[in-house]
Amino acid sequence: MMKNLVVLCALGVIAFAQQRPVQTISTKAGDLKITPIRHASLMIEAGGKVIHVDPWSQGNYDGLAAADLILITDIHGDHLDPKAIAKVKKEGTAIIAPNAVFATLAEAQVMANGDSKKWGAFTIEAVPMYNLKRGPSEGKFFHDKGRGNGYIVNYGGQRIYIAGDTEGVPEMRALKNIDVAFVPMNLPYTMTPEEAADAVKAFHPKAVYPYHYRESDTKAFAARLQGTGVDVRLLNWYY
């Protein structure tokens, strides 16, 4: 009976893994795979290394590889989740995060907005992410400038931009040569789909994925980008 239960559980993990909308990107150094997990959480695999971005306990990590590197964007609980971090860590896992995270994760290597860091075959760039107008009250923002990091992950000639929680700030709009972008669009914390699309038009990645969108209308985002030449890829981040 126990043996049958173990087999059924294993089959369940395999079936769930097959549902994950894994994306494969060709690079000069070989394939790079991106696995959406939930909300702002994703996994990058390339060159025999595994990078987890903003691991969150609401995501299902069954069957996923442990992290060689963890990227943390911000201090909010859906980005900085010590329990989830502990689950995906292994001996020797590196963590890169903004300074605001250091009080919670003293082991983190701190990157400030504008910093660039080599990590094996990867180069990680920290990009500003912040609110321009939205906050919990007059004169306050959900995300202050300089507190959090978006990241550009460079590998094999491909530049993967993970925006984090942000509005369409000037630093985003000024980005160049982005191959793949992950852009948020949920109120009240980041942008509307229309605002996100307008920001994407400015830096014009080759492909863009809406993420961190909850109930936002991603089809409205896609419609706004029709005819721009940007490849809009809609995935289910809440399966």
pLDDT, tens digit, 9 for 90 and up, residues 41-75: 999 999 999 999 999 999 999 999 999 999 999 99
Question: Looking at residues 196-212, what average pLDDT do you find?
Answer: 98
Percent of the chain with pLDDT over 90: 90
pLDDT at 146 over 90: yes
163: confidence class by pLDDT, cuts 50, 70, 90: very high
pLDDT of residue 16: 44
Query: Where do we find the tokens 């909010």?
Result: 76
**pLDDT of 92 above 70:** yes
- For the chain, the domains span 21-232
> For 181-190, what is the mean pLDDT?
97
Of 2-6, 50-54, 77-81, give the lowest mean pLDDT range: 2-6
**Residue 53, strand partner residues:** 42, 71
Percent of the chain at pLDDT exceeding 70: 92
Return the pLDDT at 174. Answer: 98
What's the pLDDT band for 154 if we cut at 50, 70, 90?
A: very high
Q: Is the confidence at residue 6, as pLDDT, over 70?
A: no
Burial pattern 20-50, b for ≥16 Cβ within 10 A else e, equals beebebebeeeebebbbbbbbbbbbbbbebb
Would you report the helix, strand and coil content of the chain in percent, each value rounded to 5? 20, 30, 50
pLDDT of 2 over the 70 cut:
no
Please state which architecture CATH assigns to domain 21-232: 4-Layer Sandwich (3.60)
With bands split at pLDDT 50, 70 and 90, how would you rate the model's confidence at 239?
A: confident
Q: What is the pLDDT of residue 18?
A: 53
For residue 11, is pLDDT > 50? no
pLDDT at 1: 53
- Sole residue written with tokens 């909300």: 39
Contacts of 120 (CB under 8 A, 6+ apart): 47, 49
Whether residue 138 has pLDDT greater than 80: yes
| pLDDT beyond 80 at 10 | no
